Amino acid sequence: MKKSILDSKDMESFVVLGATGSIGVNALKVISAFGKKVEALSAGSNIELLNEQISLYSPSLVCIANSWDLKRLEPKGAKVFIGEEGLLEMLSLAKSLKVINAIAGFAGLHASLKTLELQKDLILSNKESLVVAGSRFDVSKIIPIDSEHFGLWYILEGLKAKGETNVTRLIITASGGALRDKSAKEVLDSKLKSVLAHPNWKMGARITIDSATMVNKLYEVLETYWLFKDLNKNLKIDSLIERSSSIHSLVELEDSSLLAHLANPDMRLPLSFGIGGKEAFKESIINKLDLKDLVKIDFREIDTKLYPLWKYKDLLLEKPSLGAVLNASNEVALEAFLSENLSLKVIVDIVSKTLEAFKDTKINDSLEDILALHKEARSVALKQLHDLI
């Protein structure tokens, strides 16, 4: 039987990319709770927090995004790398066999590819890697730690162990984001402050905005496709709103049984599995879900009046390579939304117009073509932005 990548105990140290973000900070807490070591850390521009992490975890390798931040960095003897090139070099030098990629956005793609090229295990939080270039990854070397995919993986591992392969449908849940109780007009008029007030999860700004537009769920549908498409060539992938974020995912079998993964909304659960393996759960650090809270559980369809971009779900599943266009246009729109006090409608308009512009384009799966598509989609999205504001 093929050895699970979670069974490997050979290496106790980790590379944590995006260490200063919401996932990165939690990953470091879990690594520390399990008594493992940190060999390498990367950050963008939050040098103050990185300096604290260097003091606490004593990494021997450190990477920052920009050279102008060097004067603020206190590496305490660690070898320092800069920018994307530096990040890839740091990965090559690291001895650790496990890399947690928690960088936000397209900026995490090359690090994910490099990790697998170096035959290290990829504990993947950077969902954009799969959204943009899913065809370029050997997913058997990926431990998914997005809560929905971790839930699916958890159920599917159990089914696999029993030799059950009759999976017909995978369902991931959505909370509905910060604007779920607003009218369609209020949603589209919303500005940054109200969009960032997520009801269930404490996450980085970009993914919180993506939850309000439902782009996050489009990303996760694509992530599900790339991770699990080989289960069944007629596999269906759906998403439903479950407001409490207690049920993360469901697996439907041929006989119509549904198996669900339930847990508190706490990213330390998937992180614990990725970092500590199955052994980690002899002493769980996660608060258990109180089942008495589940009386209010219900499931709802995702309403395209509140989440207009959800209408692209089927197109994206028919043509998953359009994920590169979805991500590029969303990143352009997010950058503008975060800096220009725009309304959410701008994101919806830019993403939908860019997807419409590329929906009939023939897309090849080579990395070169994917990168060219990303660049082209960004420039179309920038033009849309220019026309809109």
When asked if residue 177 is in the footprint of ligand NDP (CB under 6 A), the reply is no
Contact characters 203-222, ligand NDP, x per CB under 6 A: xx-xx---------------
User: 271 vs 380, which CB is nearer to ligand NDP?
Assistant: 271
User: 173 vs 252, which CB is nearer to ligand NDP?
Assistant: 173
Tokens of 318: 């028919």
Closest approach, Cβ 263 to ligand NDP, in A, equals 13
With contacts defined by CB under 6 A, name the span among 38-46, 277-285, 303-311, 334-342 that binds ligand NDP. Answer: 38-46
Backbone angles phi, psi at 186, to 5 degrees: -60, -40
d(Cα 285, Cα 272) in Å, to the nearest integer?
8
User: 152 vs 203, which CB is nearer to ligand NDP?
Assistant: 203
Choosing from 43, 241, 309, 344, the residue that interacts with ligand NDP (CB under 6 A) is 43
With contacts defined by CB under 6 A, name the span among 19-27, 272-280, 356-364, 370-378 that binds ligand NDP. Answer: 19-27
Decide: 107 and 5 in contact? Cβ < 8 Å: no
Choosing from 53, 60, 126, 321, the residue that interacts with ligand NDP (CB under 6 A) is 126
Q: Is 18 left (phi over 0), alpha (psi -120 to 50) or beta?
A: left
When asked if residue 96 is in the footprint of ligand NDP (CB under 6 A), the reply is no
d(Cα 359, Cα 351) in Å, to the nearest integer?
12
Closest approach, Cβ 361 to ligand NDP, in A, equals 25
Instruction: State whether residue 121 is helix, strand or coil.
Output: strand
When asked if residue 267 is in the footprint of ligand NDP (CB under 6 A), the reply is yes
User: 69 vs 238, which CB is nearer to ligand NDP?
Assistant: 69
Closest approach, Cβ 385 to ligand NDP, in A, equals 19
Residues in CB range of 128: below 8 A, 6 or more apart: 104, 105, 106, 108, 109, 219, 327
User: 96 vs 126, which CB is nearer to ligand NDP?
Assistant: 126
Which position has the token pair 């940054």?
192
Q: What is the DSSP letter of 303?
A: P
When asked if residue 22 is in the footprint of ligand NDP (CB under 6 A), the reply is yes
d(Cα 248, Cα 237) in Å, to the nearest integer?
14
**Distances, alpha carbon 26 to alpha carbons 53, 117, 154, 203, 285, in Å:** 12, 26, 20, 11, 12
Decide: 322 and 371 in contact? Cβ < 8 Å: no
Decide: 347 and 333 in contact? Cβ < 8 Å: yes
Decide: 239 and 309 in contact? Cβ < 8 Å: no
Choosing from 15, 16, 23, 214, the residue that interacts with ligand NDP (CB under 6 A) is 23
Contact characters 146-175, ligand NDP, x per CB under 6 A: x-----------------------------
User: 127 vs 374, which CB is nearer to ligand NDP?
Assistant: 127
Residues in CB range of 206: below 8 A, 6 or more apart: 104, 105, 334, 338
Tokens of 335: 């950058």
User: 103 vs 251, which CB is nearer to ligand NDP?
Assistant: 103
Tokens of 138: 């050997």
Residues in CB range of 282: below 8 A, 6 or more apart: none
Closest approach, Cβ 327 to ligand NDP, in A, equals 10
Closest approach, Cβ 266 to ligand NDP, in A, equals 9
Which residue's beta carbon is nearest to the bound ligand NDP?
21
With contacts defined by CB under 6 A, name the span among 40-48, 278-286, 304-312, 317-325 that binds ligand NDP. Answer: 40-48
Segments in 37-95 forming alpha helices (H)? 47-57, 83-93
What residue ranges bind ligand NDP (CB under 6 A)?
18-24, 43-46, 65, 102-104, 107, 125-128, 146, 201, 203-204, 206-207, 267
